[in-house]
Amino acid sequence: MTDDFSYHDYVGDEGFLADYNSYQARYAERIRESDKVIVELLREAASQADSRLQVLDIGCSTGNLLLHLRRSLPKADYVGGELAESSLEECRRNPALEGIAFERLDITQLPRERYDVVIANAVLYMFDESQYDRALRSLAGALKPGGRVVLYDFAHPFEHQNLTILETSLMHPKGLRLCFRPMKYVAEHMLAAGFREPEFRPFELPIELPKPGYDEEVVTYTVDASGGSRLMFRGALFQPWCHMIAFKA
Ligand SMILES: C[S@@+](CC[C@H](N)C(=O)[O-])C[C@H]1O[C@@H](n2cnc3c(N)ncnc32)[C@H](O)[C@@H]1O
């Protein structure tokens, strides 16, 4: 296991991306439950806007979320941003995504004041603290005045527990960084990066996902807790997935 994992390793690992892109193909037609929440959050933004929204999905992978966003809200302009070339190529070849611009963009160096909404769906958990702060500043800078960011990431309520885990798995034999940040930390860093009113909406999966075998790939599965809630695990780990919304200050 290596402790110098960087998102550059992730976006350049073509062997892993080939597998990951075929995993994503499962969700091209069937929208993920967490993505349904993002569709609703965009609907909310559209209902409050007086002009056509410019929307960026940064770290868009093979473009599934964009496909569903455009189906639900066709009256917006969508851009998919990615660093992984093979994912960008797949998006550009996909006729279902025609009309959406796909650009090679790094979340830490986005163009300034270009979008009304920027979505980063399951991207920032792999960033170390300095990359994370750079990404937050870049996200705030990329928004037009009044614009908002929608993040889906790990965030939990334990104020003093900032966890970084290096996880090896079949897909990431050299290790993948997983950061589980306190909501308090995220809020403070968002405010410092140029956001206002960060809001956290912890996500609970409304469906059951089966537990994989102990010798299989690490994927999300659910466990029913005694209080009636459904917890999302990944191998031995509980995953505090959370939608976060904040506005450009
Ligand atoms: C776990 S995947 C999530 C993909 C997609 N957003 C989803 O929710 O299914 C993380 C994505 O972020 C991309 N990524 C990683 N670092 C990035 C960076 N610095 N700038 C832009 N995209 C990045 C990866 O290539 C990958 O597609």
Which residue among 5, 123, 242 is best mutated to probe the pocket of ligand 1, counting the most ligand atoms within 8 A of its Cβ? 123
Tell me the torsion sign for CA atoms 131, 117, 206, 200: positive
Q: For ligand 1, atom 10, which residue shows the shortest CA distance?
A: 123
The vertex-74 CA angle with 70 and 80, nearest 5°, equals: 40
Note the pLDDT tens digit of each residue in 217-232: 999 999 999 998 999 9
Give me the mean pLDDT over the 241-247 stretch. 98
Looking up tokens 């956290």 gives 200
Pocket test for ligand 1, best of 22, 83, 104 (most atoms within 8 A of CB): 83
Q: Which of 3-12, 38-47, 51-60, 108-117 has the lowest mean pLDDT?
A: 3-12
Residue 100 neighbours by CB under 8 Å, 6+ apart: 63, 66, 70, 78, 79, 80, 91
Pick the atom of ligand 1 nearest to 127's CA. 16
Tell me phi and psi for residue 179, to 5 degrees: -105, 130
Q: Amino acid letter at 137? A: R
Ligand 1 centroid–CA 11 distance in Å is 8
Statement: residue 176 has pLDDT above 90: yes
pLDDT at 2 over 60: no
Decide: 82 in ligand 1 pocket, CB within 6 A: yes
CA distance 151 to 117: 11
Q: How confident is the model at residue 1 (pLDDT cuts 50, 70, 90)?
A: very low
122 lines ligand 1 (CB under 6 A): yes
User: In angstroms, what is the C-alpha Rg of the chain?
Assistant: 17
In the chain, which residue ranges form alpha helices assigned H by DSSP?
Answer: 7-12, 14-29, 33-47, 64-72, 85-93, 129-142, 183-193
CA separation for the pair 116, 145 (Å, rounded): 8
Give the pLDDT band (50/70/90) at residue 45: very high
Q: Mutate which of 9, 11, 131 to test ligand 1's pocket (most atoms within 8 Å of Cβ)?
A: 11
- In single-letter form, the type of residue at position 212 comes to P
Query: Average of pLDDT values for 21-46?
Result: 89
Calculate the average pLDDT of the chain: 95
Angle at 160 between CA 154 and CA 162, to 5 degrees: 40
| Domains, in order of start, for the chain | 7-205+240-248 (3.40.50.150)
Give tens-digit pLDDT for 66-99.
999 999 999 999 999 999 999 999 999 999 999 9
83 lines ligand 1 (CB under 6 A): yes
- Determine if ligand 1 sits within 6 Å of the CB of residue 108: yes
Statement: residue 27 has pLDDT above 80? no
Q: Mean pLDDT across the stretch 198-218? A: 97
**C-alpha to C-alpha distance for 231 and 211, rounded to whole angstroms:** 12
Rounded-to-integer distance, Cα 44 and Cα 173, Å: 40
pTM (predicted TM-score): 0.95
- The 10s digit of each residue's pLDDT in 179-196 is 999 999 999 999 999 999
Q: Is the pLDDT of residue 63 over 50?
A: yes
